A and B are shown apart, each in its own frame.
Chain A
Amino acid sequence: MNVIPLTAFDLLLTSLLILALALSSLPLRLEMAGQILLAAGRTTLQLLLIGFILKWLFSSAGPGWIALLSLFMLFNAGREVSRRQKRQFKGLWGFGIGTLSMFLTSFPMLIFTLTMVINNQPWYEPRYAIPLLGMLLGNTMNGVALGFDRLLHNVWQQRQIIENRLMLGETWFEAMTEIRRESIRSGLMPTINAMMAAGIVSLPGMMTGQILAGSPPLEAVKYQIMIMFLIGAGSGFGTIAAVSLGARRLFDSRQRLRLERLS
């Protein structure tokens, strides 16, 4: 490991760039200066905090703490999914469906990768488990949020079409065919695009990080390919689960469209 350590001064220096962006947003009347600074502040605090937590976790914590941190990450991803929706399910349904979909896809895939692919002892070793889960959840969250937003937006806009199809005796599943397809597709596209562009347009962050930290490029690339497959499948299955559960929730047992379940 021959990485050059960064000092606090180095970070302060780079923060000038963000400060410059915030300042130039003022004369342009973007009304985003506050948001930019808040985001920069949050990213600093949150990452420092997770740095300390990981340091402690790697050195001394048992499986219980690792599980707790995993659930904390999952719930935050769930909250983020429901925060990004323009139209929302009433109550906790949006949060619940998003969280459940991510749990059902990310966690089995993580355990599969740790036990069958990486195969280290113990399998839950946090140095592997936590970063992998973070990448999986982050990408699955993006797919789920996009697919869900498209689903609710389209159902709201096309409610008359859906109801006309119900009047003609279609089942809720038939009446939702096009909307479901389009929603799942919009959740999947970013990951597919990332796989298409990997290596020729963009150098993925995790691989770049490994190389910066001194890993041989080919080792870093192999990890990156594994990660691409993981997040591709994770965000794909997660989006399918969330869109399917969400679509079901919009109809009742008589297969009536119940838009009053949205706010």
Chain B
Amino acid sequence: MSKLIVNGLVYHHLGPFSLTVEARETVALAGPSGAGKSLFLRALADLDPHGGEILLDGRSSQSWSGPEWRRRVALLPAESQWWHDKVGEHFNRSPVNRSSASARLAVLGFEAQVMNWSIARLSSGEKQRLAILRLLQNQPTVLLLDEPTANLDPLNTQRVEKLFLDYQQQHAAAMVWVTHDLAQGLRLGGRHFQIENGQLELVGKGQVH
């Protein structure tokens, strides 16, 4: 079980924010651009200095090293980065769970061949979907997703939503999903929050799965 507790989080003069995300819960996060949604996720992943405390299963983020924490509390940035020439070089040589890794590849519409593709030929949508697979390799227990479907077509949006919801069920993961799409927020299920004027406000609740 992976319950995420945020207690009085303060960053970049915003906050304090408090929020609890249960295992298997999805919190949808909206708000005007510049309100600090991405910064909120960055603070949760301990990429920016922040005040307050973040607990995972009752343990403080400080009790892990930065990299250990970020392997558990995984942030998917709005725009992914690629630094080697080939796709496969960005993936672990020996994934923890090979069969589920290749199953996920298929769910997002890729064949195993994709690992030999060069980064230069990827479209932005392909990069985004591969970035998702790359992130899930670490088997994180908390997912922080910054508009993961913003540049995907409806078919791939559907695939990505299904992938994340399945993963969440299998790994009892807690999920924070930044989206501007109200319909998507409803499909995801859990509570809806809005960040505005430095406040985190509960604005509604989606349908329960």
Contacts and interface: CB of A to CB of B under 8 A. Distances in A.
Given A163-B47, A254-B46, A169 B81 contact: no
Contact of B135 (A160, A168, A255): A168
A252 B48 CA distance: 10
Given A255-B67, A256-B66, A166 B47 contact: yes
Interface stretch (B71-79, B152-160, B193-201): B71-79
B171 interface: no
Contact of B83 (A165, A252, A255): A165
B67 A178 contact: no
Contacts of A171: 67
Given A160-B81, A161-B81, A164-B80, A169 B48 contact: no
A169 B77 contact: no
Contact residue range for chain A? 10 to 19
Contact of A167 (B65, B68, B74): B74
Contacts of A254: 46, 65-66
A170 interface: yes
B180 interface: no
A178 B89 CA distance: 14
A163 B46 CA distance: 11
A256 B75 contact: no
Interface residues of B, number: 22
Nearest to A177: B83
Contact of B68 (A158, A168, A169): A169
Q: Is the interface of B mostly helix, strand, loop or mixed?
A: loop
B83 A169 contact: no
B81 A164 contact: yes
A256 B47 contact: yes
Contacts, number: 54
A164 B77 contact: yes
A178 B83 contact: yes
Contacts of B79: 160
B66 A168 contact: no
Contacts of A255: 65-67
A246 to B, nearest CB: 19
A165 B74 CA distance: 11
A161 B46 CA distance: 16
Given A255-B66, A256-B66, A169 B138 contact: yes
A166 B70 contact: yes
Contacts of B45: 167
B70 A169 contact: yes
B134 interface: yes
B34 interface: no
B58 interface: no
B67 A166 contact: yes
Given A256-B47, A256-B48, A256-B49, A166 B66 contact: yes
A255 B64 CA distance: 11
Interface string B155-198: 00000000000000000000000000000000000000000000
A178 B70 CA distance: 21
A178 B82 CA distance: 13
Interface in B10-59: 45-49
Contacts of A168: 70-71, 74, 134-135, 138
Interface in A166-190: 166-171, 178
A163 B42 CA distance: 10
A166 B73 CA distance: 12
A49 B108 CA distance: 73
Contacts of A161: 81, 83
A169 B138 CA distance: 8
Q: Which 9 A-B pairs have the closest CB atoms?
A: A169-B71, A255-B66, A164-B81, A254-B66, A161-B81, A167-B75, A161-B83, A171-B67, A169-B67
Interface of A: 158, 160-161, 163-171, 178, 252, 254-257
24 contacts: A161-B83, A163-B47, A164-B80, A164-B81, A165-B81, A165-B83, A167-B70, A167-B74, A167-B75, A167-B135, A168-B71, A168-B74, A168-B134, A168-B138, A169-B67, A169-B68, A169-B74, A178-B83, A252-B49, A254-B66, A255-B67, A256-B46, A256-B47, A256-B49
Given A167-B76, A168-B138, A256-B66, 13 more contacts: A160-B77, A160-B79, A163-B47, A164-B80, A165-B83, A166-B70, A167-B45, A168-B134, A168-B135, A170-B67, A178-B83, A256-B46, A256-B48
